[in-house]
Amino acid sequence: MAIENLLDTDWREKLKSLGLEGFLDLLGTERLAQKKARMANLLRIANPDEALYREIMVALGYKNNKVQFLELALILPYSEIRALKDSERIEKALLYRAGFLQSKDGLPENFDGSLKMDRSVWQLRGTRPANFPATRIKGIAPLLSESCETGLCKLIEAKIADNYLPTTNRRSAGSFCKELTKIFTTGERKAVGQTRALEILFNIILPFFMTYFEREGKRKYAEFLLSIYDQHPILSENSVIRAMKAQLFGEDKKKARQVVNSVRRYMGLIHLHNVVLKGEKLDDYS
């Protein structure tokens, strides 16, 4: 296996003792642990609504505008979003603070117009028009508006609880995730497409709520989300996944499908590339 020559001694021994499937499971577990640690740190410095809002906003930035979306979330925090309530006002407030609108028409009289990003900081080159920042802002506004009554965290927590299952398999895990991604994709809430919604689900929503539920003593739901991580089929391939499969399996695509057959192992491949082999970082919100 070509990959063995690229591993240091410790990782090579782990691969030898665990076999490839166990090795990828271990790496997928480590990646999840890293993401949960990130969420735990965020929850130490911000309340759950604010922390979750920031992470979702970062995800809207895709590869080129993550830092810019974080800055926007900091200068227009969720507490201020929640006070605006109306979807149109939230959209205008975000677009204004992002530098895409010059007029405060339609915003409250006490809305602070001094906090504003320069439009030039946003990177459009190399970004598909459908993923331009202004488009993504317009897409997320309805979800933020819907969350104002209960709070963003409670809105998604209720969705998880409503779709909780005592046992899971690949099919039920897929159904659960399809239902949960509707938060981002259904009706007026077209924050992202289905593929990106699944990426947000596994990179942000699941690790965030596993951490949150553990902190709140709701272990039943934390364990349920972990089972979803174990059981769900792989996500859509990207360039890193394709490259790592080529390293591990060469032209044997059937073997690749048999081994990399879950989100945990999919994430294990990303962790192998990003951390173990120290490759170029994938756009994964970490």
- 182-223 pLDDT, tens per residue? 999 987 667 888 999 999 999 999 999 999 999 999 999 999
Confidence at residue 12, expressed as pLDDT on a 0 to 100 scale? 85
At 2, the pLDDT band (50, 70, 90 cuts) reads low
Confidence at residue 286, expressed as pLDDT on a 0 to 100 scale? 40
| SS3 track for the chain | CHHHHHCCHHHHHHHHHHHHHHHHHHHHHHHHHHHHHHHHHHHHHCCHHHHHHHHHHHHHCCCCCHHHHHHHHHHCCHHHHHHHCCHHHHHHHHHHHHCCCCCCCCCCCCCCCCCCCCHHHCCCCCCCHHHCHHHHHHHHHHHHHHHCCCCHHHHHHHHHHHCCCCCCCHHHHHHHHHHHHHHHHCCCCCCCCHHHHHHHHHHHHHHHHHHHHHHHCCHHHHHHHHHHHHHCCCCCCCHHHHHHHHHHHCCCHHHHHHHCCCHHHHHHHHHHHHHHCCCCCCCCCC
- 127-185 pLDDT, tens per residue? 888 889 999 999 999 999 999 999 999 999 999 999 999 999 999 999 999 999 999 99
Domain map (residue ranges) of the chain = 2-276
Q: What is the mean pLDDT of the chain?
A: 92
- 70-120 pLDDT, tens per residue? 999 999 999 999 999 999 999 999 999 999 999 999 999 999 999 999 999
Average pLDDT over residues 238-267: 92
